[in-house]
């Protein structure tokens, strides 16, 4: 029971003596002790914590957004988990992340190179078809320049 102290609410202040009060440095202090490494056991503990405390949502669309925000916490960026193989660095990365909406028969995914969420609507396919269809997961996230949208700020 290494994680019995974890909670979604912040830790309150700690009064040590008349002169010294300790306060958390920001929101999230209830998660102190949550493992942060990328080993499978630590990722499992974090996923159990997140799935226990995320706020339920009303729509499938919001559920998919909520799920991908949660899953972002487990992405492995290139370089943080590596080993050497035959003298060369080998990197572990999260190649893709996926989610299913079973009620609406939709499959969602994003990849390492394309962080936009893409969807395959399985209801649009013949479930009795004998042929195999494939969809490329290749892509690259576009970056939009929104500089031209900047407007003068005037406090009210």
Domain-by-domain residue ranges, the chain?
78-134
Q: Provide the b/e sequence for 95-116 (b: ≥16 CB within 10 Å).
A: eebbbebeeeebebbbbbebee
Here the tokens at position 46 are: 């974090």
Residue range 115-146, pLDDT digits in tens: 999 999 999 999 899 999 999 999 888 899 99
Beta bridge partners of 141: none
Residue range 66-87, pLDDT digits in tens: 999 999 999 999 998 899 999 9
Rounded distance between C-alpha atoms, residue 29 and residue 152, angstroms: 37
DSSP secondary structure letter of residue 9: S
Q: What does the angle CA 103 – CA 104 – CA 107 come to, to the nearest 5 degrees? A: 105
């Amino acid at each position: 029971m290494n994680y019995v102290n974890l909670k979604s609410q912040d830790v309150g202040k700690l009064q040590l003596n008349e002169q010294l009060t300790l306060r958390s440095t920001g929101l999230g202090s209830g998660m102190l002790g949550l493992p942060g490494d990328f080993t499978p056991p630590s990722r499992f503990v974090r996923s159990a914590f997140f799935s226990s405390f995320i706020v339920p949502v009303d729509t499938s669309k919001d559920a998919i957004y909520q799920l991908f925000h949660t899953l972002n916490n487990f992405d492995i960026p290139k370089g943080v988990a590596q080993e050497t193989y035959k003298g060369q660095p080998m990197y572990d990365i999260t190649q893709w992340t996926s989610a299913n909406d079973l009620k609406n028969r939709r499959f969602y995914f994003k990849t390492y190179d394309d962080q936009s969420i893409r969807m395959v609507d399985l209801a649009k396919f013949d479930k009795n078809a004998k042929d195999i269809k494939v969809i490329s997961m290749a892509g690259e996230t576009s970056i939009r320049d929104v500089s031209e949208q900047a407007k003068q700020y005037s406090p009210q």
